[in-house]
Amino acid sequence: MQSIYLDHSATTPLDPRVLAAMQPYFAEYFGNSKAIHRAGHLAEAAIEGARATVARCLGCLPADVVFTSGGTESDNLALRGPAQYARVHDRPFTLITGPVEHAAVAATARQLRDTLGASLRVVPVDRTGRVNPDDLRAALRDLPANGIALVSLIHANNEIGTVSPVADYAAIAHEHGALFHTDAVQSPGHLALDMDGMGLDLLSLSSHKFYGPKGAGVLALRERVPYLSAQTGAGHEDGRRAGTHNTPGIVGTAAALEIACAGRAESAARLSTLRQRLIEGVLSAIPDAELTGDPADRLPGHASFAFRDVLSSTLLMHLDQRGIAASSGSACKSGNEQPSAILETLGFGPQWTRGGLRLSLGRSTTAADIAAVLDALPEAVAAVRRIAADVRSSAPA
Ligand SMILES: Cc1ncc(COP(=O)(O)O)c(C=O)c1O
């Protein structure tokens, strides 16, 4: 077991209170929510209770809440639903997105372009990973008449922590008659979410990112959204996502979201203090290190860096040996030596793009953890650079 876990953006442990809320729905109240008997009614009541709780936390109606198997599925349904509706109604579909989206959005967008003929427009981002509103306006010009257009831009970036002004983007999308989806998978417990107040049409969540169960998530989907489900079957979730309900996962999602929302302000204040100490310590102790993402407007517990002449996978192994669990922040696994596409997009050169490090703090993180990382990281980076230099000098001329 790791002694210092700094990979909360990858996943979080299940909150014991969430586990306790889920427990009865595995073996005691195990009925199928669609069944016409008491066991079925009990499951249905639990699911509807959970739906009301999630709606309250997200500032939408219970009828807008669709339970899914996680963030990847929610992103898929959010993009595919309007695209398929447009296709069936013979209307052109335009998808506007950014170059630093999670793969669940980016790969789905490319597939919709290749299979359904969606017109895909990718808006550039600045050095912090944020879309300029004027660039979004430009991308929304000349939309086809009678078409359906969807803008999908991430709320808080998983790799570099930048928080984007999605309410402003939603307003711009609406001015141009487009719908707006945000992948808010990294947000709960850290950032306020309010579908009504922010003017969002669709929003994706993943329960395991906020101390809930893995394999559960939410797509919040306003009634006004033209949508044809990509997950067909027996019509669960009002025909928007078929499949027998994962009752424990749904109950756990609601319990976890409620706890995350209630504790958000206090947690954000505590984590941003620790994160700032970490960022300042790393940048002052390690040469050729850059903070990635926005220095101020970033997830409270998220610190991400690029180190020159460092291979992330080697650095992560060194940290692991010192009992520190971290990540490079991109989708790649340790041992995968591909450069980070996001760091490339942000303009980092080839000596930097394999050297990403993400340290994501959470409920268990203490000041002592931060001190221990600041103690271990400079030497770990130096060791990895020495290895790289040795390899270079021993390479045949
Ligand atoms: C921003 C973002 N979107 C989507 C996902 C996918 O969520 P899930 O793991 O629930 O499929 C992740 C998970 O890493 C994420 O960070």
CATH number at residue 299: 3.90.1150.10
Indicate whether 321 and 370 sit together in one domain.
yes
Q: For residue 333, what are the β-bridge partners? A: none
Q: Which residues contact 382 (CB under 8 A, 6 or more apart)?
A: none
Indicate whether 250 and 353 sit together in one domain.
no
User: Which of the listed residues 210, 233, 262 is the one where a domain comes to its end?
Assistant: 262
Give the Å distance between the CA of 372 and the centre of ligand 1: 28
Is residue 364 in some structural domain? yes
* Residue 110: pLDDT over 60: yes
Q: What are the residue ranges of helices labelled H in the chain?
A: 16-22, 24-27, 38-58, 71-88, 103-116, 133-139, 166-175, 195-198, 236-239, 247-262, 264-285, 312-321, 341-345, 367-394
Distance between CA atoms of residues 93 and 151, nearest Å: 11
* Residue 394: pLDDT over 90: no
Give the ligand 1 atom nearest the CA of 9. Answer: 16
pLDDT for res 396 = 74
Indicate whether 196 and 50 sit together in one domain.
yes
Give the Å distance between the CA of 213 and the centre of ligand 1: 13
Is residue 3 in some structural domain? no
Look up residue 69 and give its DSSP letter: S
pLDDT for res 123 = 98
Which residue's CA is minimally distant from atom 4 of ligand 1? 71
Closest CA to 228 of 243, 220, 240, 238: 240
Is residue 53 in some structural domain? yes
pLDDT for res 397 = 65
Residue 292's region, left for phi above 0, alpha for psi from -120 to 50, else beta, is beta
Distance between CA atoms of residues 7 and 14, nearest Å: 14
Q: What is the reported pTM?
A: 0.97
Distance between CA atoms of residues 21 and 16, nearest Å: 9
pLDDT for res 388 = 82
Half-sphere exposure of 168 (CA within 13 A, CB side): 11
Is residue 300 in some structural domain? yes
Mean pLDDT score of the chain? 96
**32: confidence class by pLDDT, cuts 50, 70, 90:** very high
User: Which of the listed residues 217, 238, 262 is the one where a domain comes to its end?
Assistant: 262
Q: What is the pLDDT of residues 119-170, one digit of tens each?
A: 999 999 999 999 999 999 999 999 999 999 999 999 999 999 999 999 999 9
Indicate whether 31 and 169 sit together in one domain.
yes
**256: confidence class by pLDDT, cuts 50, 70, 90:** very high
pLDDT for res 109 = 98
Tokens of residue 251, six digits: 């109950």
Is residue 154 in some structural domain? yes
pLDDT for res 1 = 46
| For residues 303-314, average pLDDT | 97
Indicate whether 294 and 252 sit together in one domain.
no
Which residue's CA is minimally distant from atom 7 of ligand 1? 71
Which residue's CA is minimally distant from atom 15 of ligand 1? 185
Give the ligand 1 atom nearest the CA of 75. Answer: 4
Q: Which residues contact 338 (CB under 8 A, 6 or more apart)?
A: 332, 354
Q: For residue 302, what are the β-bridge partners? A: 360
Q: How far are the Cα atoms of 278, 306, 365, 381 from residue 371, in angstroms, in the given order?
A: 8, 20, 11, 16
Indicate whether 252 and 294 sit together in one domain.
no
Is residue 200 in some structural domain? yes
Indicate whether 155 and 103 sit together in one domain.
yes
* Residue 85: pLDDT over 80: yes
Indicate whether 258 and 268 sit together in one domain.
no
Is residue 10 in some structural domain? no
Indicate whether 241 and 373 sit together in one domain.
no
Give the Å distance between the CA of 210 and the centre of ligand 1: 11
Give the Å distance between the CA of 185 and the centre of ligand 1: 6
Distance between CA atoms of residues 370 and 303, nearest Å: 11
Indicate whether 299 and 256 sit together in one domain.
no
Indicate whether 178 and 279 sit together in one domain.
no
Q: What is the pLDDT of residues 330-386, one digit of tens each?
A: 654 445 578 999 999 999 999 999 999 999 999 999 999 999 999 999 999 999 999
Residue 161's region, left for phi above 0, alpha for psi from -120 to 50, else beta, is left
pLDDT for res 335 = 53
Which residue's CA is minimally distant from atom 5 of ligand 1? 71
Distance between CA atoms of residues 266 and 86, nearest Å: 43
Closest CA to 355 of 285, 305, 280, 291: 305
Look up residue 333 and give its DSSP letter: P
Is 220 exposed, middle or buried, given 0-12, 13-18 or 19+ CB atoms closer than 10 A?
buried
Which residue's CA is minimally distant from atom 9 of ligand 1? 71
Give the ligand 1 atom nearest the CA of 217. Answer: 10
Give the Å distance between the CA of 136 and the centre of ligand 1: 24
Give the Å distance between the CA of 72 and the centre of ligand 1: 6
Distance between CA atoms of residues 204 and 76, nearest Å: 9
Domain that holds residue 85: 16-262
User: Which of the listed residues 229, 262, 295 is the one where a domain comes to its end?
Assistant: 262
pLDDT for res 331 = 54
Which residues have any ligand 1 atom within 6 Å of their CB? Answer: 70-72, 75, 102, 104, 154, 158, 183, 185-186, 206, 217
Give the ligand 1 atom nearest the CA of 69. Answer: 10
The number of folded domains in the chain is 2
Q: Report the relative pairing of strands 324-325 and 65-68 from DSSP bridges.
A: unpaired
Is residue 96 in some structural domain? yes
CATH number at residue 114: 3.40.640.10
Mutation pick for ligand 1 pocket among 68, 72, 181 (CB with most ligand atoms within 8 Å): 72
User: H or E stretch including 193?
Assistant: none
Indicate whether 330 and 205 sit together in one domain.
no
* Residue 395: pLDDT over 80: no
| For residues 24-34, average pLDDT | 96
Give the residue numbers annotated as catalytic, written as ranges: 332
Mutation pick for ligand 1 pocket among 102, 211, 299 (CB with most ligand atoms within 8 Å): 102
